[in-house]
Chains A and B, each alone.
Chain A
Amino acid sequence: MAKKEQPRANLLQGTLDMLVLRTLLYGPAHGHEIGKHIQRTTNDFLQMQHGSLYPALHRLEERGWVTAKWEKGPNQNREFKYYRLTEKGRKQLLVEESQWKQMAEAVARVMWPAAEES
């Protein structure tokens, strides 16, 4: 079942965790909001796939980087499952961020050596 190539980037393994943690830095959010936020912020470049989002959320919870609780939403009478960053999660975000930076710099040095020299 070959799929047609779509103009979307596949997330690097592990990157999604970082993006989710970063999104939660603004405050608690439920799964839908997190997905939409990432999608919107990247101008739809990163199309959120639910197939990866929910496993990622549950993985983060399992590791204790986020907590989850069913709470009432601001406007509606409905309850949503809100994810909240924990102290451990904040530290993890810093770690992942610095790793990502190193990674990006390393890639850049290989890809655009001239820019680096000047």
Chain B
Amino acid sequence: MKWWRMRERNDDLERELQSDLELEEEEQRERGLSSEEARRAARRAFGNTTLIRQQTRETWAETWGWARFEHIRQDLQFALRQFSRNRRFAIACILTLGLGIGAEATIYSVIHAVLIDPYPYRGAMRMVHLHLYDKDPVPDDLALNGPQFRELEKSPVLDGAIAEDVYTMSLTGEELPEQLSVSRMSPNAFEYFGVSPLLGREFSAADGNRVAVLSYHFWKSHYAGRIDVLGKPLQLNREDYTIIGVLPQRFAWMWGDAYVPLAYSTDPRRISNVFARTREGISDRAAELALQPLLDTFAKETPADFPQHFKVHLVHINEVAIGQFRGVLEVLFVSVSFLLVLACVNVAILMLARGEARQTEIAMRKALGAGKRRIVTQLLTESILLSAAGGALGILLAYAGVHAILRLTQPLPTLFPAEANIAVNLPVLLFCAGISMVTAILCGAWPALRASRTGFRHVMNSGTNRLAGRRGGRNAQMSLLTLQVAITILLLVCSGSTVQTLLRLLHANLGYDPQSLASVSLVSLEGSHNKWADRVHYFEQIRSAIAADPDVVSAAIGALPLTGSEPTPVSIAGQKESSGSVIAQNVNEDYFSTLRMPLLAGRMWTRNETTRGAHFALINEAMSKRYWPAANPLGATIVLNNGVVHGTMWKLVAPGNDEHFQVIGVVGNVLNHGLDEAVRPAVYVPYSMTPFDGFTISFRARTNPASLLHAIKERVHSVEPDQAVGEILTATDVIEGQSLGRESFVASLFTAFAFLALAFAASGLYSIQSYLVAQRTRELGVRIALGARRSQIVEEVTRAAAVSVLTGAAAGIVTSVALSGVFAYWTNGNARDPVLLAIVAGVLFSAAMLASVGPALTAASIDPMQALRTE
């Protein structure tokens, strides 16, 4: 049977049936029936001709399944016609599925890239930082000298270790020196990481010390990705290195621009940071227990390199990289999974409501001769078609979503580990699409299965069925609606508390003026300006050179608030229990005027006092309140215990620095620990007390500070030709990067999800109510005809849904209050805030009202005559 003979075959069958029907009719007439009666008798004898046709056609195709193909084509055609008649339903289904799938796949892709598989390194999840804890809340990274490192490497609990120092070095030999972050790594490092190079080769123990491997990022930005860089020289701090390789994009260990071999000398005073990988199957706890005695022996050899009474603590590299953001990502994942559940629930509601509404149609088709399987496959085709369209939309949205996340997080480079490669995760995308499509298909098929069981007369008897809707179907929908509302409330609360946090940050009182304020950091060439007086003078020279620029209002030595000031242990002379830690900053006297911080009491130190290294300190108001709540702090002596009595190669100490400082003034508070945190006690001392090799100049510009980089480079160049200048960091960038950017990213995601959830809940409510109204049109018409008031009708149709909404809202609020501890831990928000809960409930109820207006108005405006006639 060839398919193109289909029409011919159909005609033939039609003719055959017709001819036999006529014969039957003639026969009946010969028995003496009237022609009308004869025709009817003949038809009765023949039975269901549609079914005969269909079953006969099926036999044609037995050999090659034409019928199935033909049915699918018919079903598809019919389904498309159904959708174009019922556009709102189809669009709601497809949008719901698409948005649910898209959101879930996007967030999961980010989570996968950031939490599950962020690093390209071998055994990355076992790579750890070795933190040494004493009483100080901020730990030290373990640092060892050469022999100690080789000893540690052999530990049976470790699967390799590397030693590394990250330097800021000057790329010299070009017109203006450039500042690079260069990582010196022990020669075994690349074997440890197990990442093959993109170009050339990596260094090993066989190479000398003068080779360099470039990061992908630096290779792209500085060499424009040229392949001929291999073998070229790279001059760092006036020393030549040979470029031997380029690393792949995801290798971004310590954000390095270039990696060079670290030569461990036998000098025990030369120490480097150490990172390790635990052996497979060894727990962190076990490794810590095994390492502690080893490190204790090292501490006995070189006590100066270790804190006193320390405990080693392993911290996985990912924990260090993303810290608390992990919690936020997890909440996001939970929220977005809720969103996917909501999407499925919504589709279920839509499909069930529609299935109910189609019972009559299905019964009718059955009466007209459609087989049971035929009806089920028809409805299945419809739901498969819908879910396929939804799935396709979801896939598109997932790609768009990942793109949007990348754009949103572009200004926040430290939000995720540099190695994380955020891209759409295909298995996850397929999983999400699968789940929601299965839901759609099941819910689509359910009415078909039910309908094929119910009899024609039962459904067509509109008297009973048209009254209040079948209990079973309605209860299922109402419980789904309750669930939807509860989840929506949870998401709204989540979003509300992140927005609250964001608002608090936006309105935080910084204590200084961030407008046109910026800083540049500089690192003096290794080995230069090694004498204390020379270095103090050199810093001042650079500062005044920058301050001389006509576009600079003023410049000061000292870093911007919130940029890497470590807590320093403090004790107050004459106070017993007055130990604790403060934020100590090394600044010069221009710092306060440049930042526009008010002097509240006492005086500043003078330039002359800076130059000679006077033991003076300014404290902030928080410190004054903490240590001298009732007394005058001026003239008191404080001791900063940052162990600077002995200088190192990179840290010089002023002659006579005994860490004792006299308080000569009190300045205003500056948010110095985080925008959302209380101000920490702070001490400002002259930078000349402990000048490091690296220093920061803060300046206020007349124009956009970022545009001054070149001018500043030239000014610095005129003082010292080899001095490289770092990037310009504006105060606004700091605030954004610190937490504002992160919080606004989080808040916008949560809010988007919450409003999606709200839209789902509203659409679920709308479809349930419209369905109820449609189903009860006749009954309501009768009641209006009998004198029921419109308001009664409206109340009647909205009551059930209102109960569901209220129950759901109550459940949601109770849950979010119960979970407020969890929220607080993850998002810094307060889910228990009654104002927030009231706003959330208000938003939800307004949405519910809006969604109910349409169906309620339809119910109220039923024309009794019309209603009775249409049935």
Contacts and interface: CB of A to CB of B under 8 A. Distances in A.
Contacts of A31: 16, 20
A54 B56 CA distance: 6
B47 A32 contact: no
B56 to A, nearest CB: 5
Interface stretch (B58-66, B230-238, B552-560): B58-66
Interface in A7-35: 30-32, 35
B454 to A, nearest CB: 10
Nearest to A60: B59
B51 A51 contact: yes
B814 to A, nearest CB: 49
A59 interface: yes
Contact of A58 (B47, B48, B59, B456): B59
A49 B47 contact: yes
Given A51-B47, A51-B52, A62 B59 contact: yes
A78 B1 CA distance: 27
A50 B46 contact: yes
A1 B456 contact: yes
Contact of A62 (B16, B45, B60): B60
B24 A32 contact: yes
A62 B1 contact: yes
A16 B56 CA distance: 14
A30 B48 contact: no
B23 interface: yes
Size class of the contact patch on chain B = 20 to 34
Contacts of B56: 54-55, 58
A55 B52 contact: yes
A54 B455 CA distance: 27
A4 to B, nearest CB: 15
Contact of A81 (B15, B58, B455, B457): B15
A55 B47 contact: no
Nearest to B454: A1
Contacts of B58: 55
A70 B62 CA distance: 24
Contacts of B63: 62
Contacts of A56: 59
Name, among A31, A50, A80, the residue most crowded by chain B CB atoms within 10 Å (CB to CB).
A50
A12 to B, nearest CB: 18
B59 A55 contact: yes
Interface string B40-52: 0000011111011
A47 B402 CA distance: 68
- SS class of chain B's interface: helix, strand, loop or mixed? helix
B20 A32 contact: yes
B20 A59 contact: no
Contacts of B12: 81
B47 A54 contact: no
Nearest to A1: B455
Interface string B537-571: 00000000000000000000000000000000000
Contacts, number: 56
Contacts of B456: 1
A80 B19 contact: yes
B13 interface: yes
Contacts of A81: 12, 15-16, 19
A60 to B, nearest CB: 9
B51 A32 contact: no
A49 B63 CA distance: 24
B704 interface: no
A20 to B, nearest CB: 13
Name, among B16, B45, B60, the residue most crowded by chain A CB atoms within 10 Å (CB to CB).
B16
Contact of B62 (A30, A32, A51, A59): A59
A50 B47 contact: yes
Name, among A30, A58, A62, A81, the residue most crowded by chain B CB atoms within 10 Å (CB to CB).
A58
A51 B50 CA distance: 9
Interface in A55-110: 55-56, 58-59, 62, 70, 78-81
A59 B59 contact: yes
A32 B26 CA distance: 12
Contacts of B20: 30-32, 35, 50
B13 A62 contact: no
A50 B48 CA distance: 9
B694 to A, nearest CB: 90
A98 B16 CA distance: 32
A117 to B, nearest CB: 44
Contacts of B52: 50-51, 54-55
Nearest to B23: A32
B55 interface: yes
B17 interface: yes
A27 B59 CA distance: 24
A101 B546 CA distance: 114
B60 A58 contact: yes
Contacts of A55: 52, 55-56, 58-59
Interface string B16-41: 11011001100000000000000000
Contacts of B17: 54
A62 to B, nearest CB: 6
A107 B575 CA distance: 112
Given A1-B455, A54-B52, A62 B62 contact: yes
Contacts of A50: 20, 45-47, 49, 52
B19 A54 contact: no
A32 B46 CA distance: 11
A54 B62 contact: no
B16 A51 contact: no
B228 to A, nearest CB: 73
Nearest to B366: A1
A70 B11 CA distance: 13
A31 B20 CA distance: 7
A49 B45 CA distance: 8
A58 B49 CA distance: 15
Interface in B447-474: 455-457
Contacts of B55: 51, 54-55
Nearest to A48: B45
B364 to A, nearest CB: 14
A51 B54 CA distance: 9
Contacts of B46: 50
B699 to A, nearest CB: 90
B458 to A, nearest CB: 9
Nearest to A54: B56
Nearest to B58: A55
Interface string B637-678: 000000000000000000000000000000000000000000
Contacts of B23: 32
A111 to B, nearest CB: 33
Contacts of B49: 50
B455 to A, nearest CB: 5
Nearest to A33: B23
B19 A78 contact: yes
Contact of B13 (A51, A54, A80): A54
Nearest to B458: A1
A64 to B, nearest CB: 11
A63 to B, nearest CB: 9
A1 B460 CA distance: 13
A82 to B, nearest CB: 11
B362 to A, nearest CB: 14
A59 B62 CA distance: 8
Nearest to A50: B46
B39 to A, nearest CB: 15
Contacts of A54: 13, 16-17, 52, 55-56
Interface of B: 1, 12-13, 15-17, 19-20, 23-24, 45-49, 51-52, 55-56, 58-60, 62-63, 455-457
17 contacts: A1-B457, A32-B19, A49-B47, A50-B46, A50-B52, A51-B55, A54-B13, A54-B17, A54-B52, A54-B56, A55-B58, A55-B59, A62-B59, A62-B60, A78-B19, A79-B19, A81-B12
Given A54-B55, A58-B60, 6 more contacts: A51-B48, A54-B13, A54-B56, A55-B55, A59-B62, A81-B16
Top 7 A-B pairs, shortest CB-CB distance: A32-B20, A59-B59, A32-B23, A55-B55, A54-B56, A58-B59, A81-B16
